[in-house]
Amino acid sequence: MTKMRKRAAAAVGGVAIVAALAVPGVAAHAAAVAEQDNSFMTQAAQVNLAEITIGKLALQKANTPQVRSLAQETLTDHQDAQGKLERLAEQKGVTLPSSPNAQQQSTGKQLEGASGTMFDSIYLHAQISGHQEASTLTRSEIDSGRDADVQSFAKDFLPAVLRHLSHAQEAANALGIPPKGANTGSGGLAERAQSSTGDLGLVAGGLAMVVAAGAMLLRWRRRTG
């Protein structure tokens, strides 16, 4: 009996040791987040932080009610999304960035130095391009993500992204702000068209002078002949 008890105790102890070694590994594996999901969470956090930063700035510097309204909407929604994302990241053991990416920070600096209609134009262009990129990013996570909780966040995040994009485009149209990259102003299509028209006018005028000179020469020859 003594030997049997010792063997049983040893067996139990061995199982306990194996369990103690195995549990941390299992927990770490469960908490691990695939690269796709990790990347999405990182970029979504940067989008939120950028929108919060320029949203606060727009509430101070917006030149029109349309821009101010959009700023309030995006600020509120992205603050809410960031809170949810931070809780999810803590649950998954993911460290989120504490600031926007370099391009987003550059846009923020441009807005800090802008005012009036220029501020509104830069802000709306940033809203349109930024939410287009965020839409692509979020759709990719919904389609290709591996973590169900992160995908669920993405599905909840997408409607707000699309709504912000739509409202930014509507505001730009209402204020007559052309799409980014449109050929307007110096060097634009309109100026080149005017230049071409002017060149044609000069050519036509030159031809008219040549024709007139030829007619006068012909009349002179007839008289002297």
Are 85 and 60 in the same domain? Answer: yes
The pLDDT of 106-119, averaged and rounded, is 97
Are 61 and 136 in the same domain? Answer: yes
Residue 106 to residue 146: CA distance in whole angstroms: 32
Q: 146 is written with which tokens?
A: 């591996």
Cα angle 176, 179, 182 (rounded to 5 degrees) comes to 105
Residue 1 included in any domain:
no
pLDDT given at position 171: 97
Are 167 and 74 in the same domain? Answer: yes
Is the model's pLDDT at 3 over the cut of 60? no
Are 139 and 104 in the same domain? Answer: yes
Residue 51 to residue 74: CA distance in whole angstroms: 7
Q: Say how far residue 115 (Cα) sits from the centre of its chain.
A: 22
Are 223 and 155 in the same domain? Answer: no
Helices 35-61 and 102-113 cross at an angle (nearest 10°) of 0
82, 80, 78: which is closest to 98 by C-alpha? 82
Are 150 and 214 in the same domain? Answer: no
Q: How confident is the model at residue 58 (pLDDT cuts 50, 70, 90)?
A: very high
Residue 115 included in any domain:
yes
Pick from 75-79, 86-90, 175-179: least confident? 175-179
In the listed set 131, 147, 174, which residue is the last one of a domain according to the structure? Answer: 174
pLDDT given at position 15: 42
Residue 81 included in any domain:
yes
To 10 degrees, the CA torsion angle through 201, 203, 209, 213?
-160
Q: 43 is written with which tokens?
A: 């970029």
The pLDDT of 37-64, averaged and rounded, is 98
Residue 168 to residue 49: CA distance in whole angstroms: 18
Q: How confident is the model at residue 122 (pLDDT cuts 50, 70, 90)?
A: very high
Are 215 and 126 in the same domain? Answer: no
CATH number of the CATH domain containing 121: 1.20.1260.10
pLDDT given at position 6: 52
Are 216 and 139 in the same domain? Answer: no
- The owner of tokens 């996570």 is 141
The pLDDT of 112-125, averaged and rounded, is 97
pLDDT given at position 221: 46
Residue 83 included in any domain:
yes
Residue 3 included in any domain:
no
Per the model's pLDDT, the better-predicted residue between 193 and 8 turns out to be 8
Q: 108 is written with which tokens?
A: 């923020």
Is the model's pLDDT at 142 over the cut of 90? yes
- Residue span of the structural domain in which 135 resides: 12-174
Q: How confident is the model at residue 2 (pLDDT cuts 50, 70, 90)?
A: low
Is the model's pLDDT at 203 over the cut of 60? no
52, 134, 142, 141: which is closest to 98 by C-alpha? 52
Residue 58 to residue 9: CA distance in whole angstroms: 70
Per the model's pLDDT, the better-predicted residue between 167 and 9 turns out to be 167
The pLDDT of 192-212, averaged and rounded, is 41
41, 40, 160: which is closest to 91 by C-alpha? 41
Are 140 and 90 in the same domain? Answer: yes
Q: How confident is the model at residue 72 (pLDDT cuts 50, 70, 90)?
A: very high
Q: 216 is written with which tokens?
A: 């006068």
140, 135, 158: which is closest to 35 by C-alpha? 140
Residue pair 175/66 in contact (Cβ under 8 Å)? The answer is: yes
Are 131 and 220 in the same domain? Answer: no
User: Is this prediction's pTM over 0.85?
Assistant: no
Are 158 and 194 in the same domain? Answer: no
**Per the structure, how many domains does the chain have?**
2
Residue pair 41/96 in contact (Cβ under 8 Å)? The answer is: yes
Residue 4 included in any domain:
no
Residue 67 included in any domain:
yes
Residue 181 included in any domain:
no
Are 62 and 136 in the same domain? Answer: yes
Is the model's pLDDT at 188 over the cut of 90? no
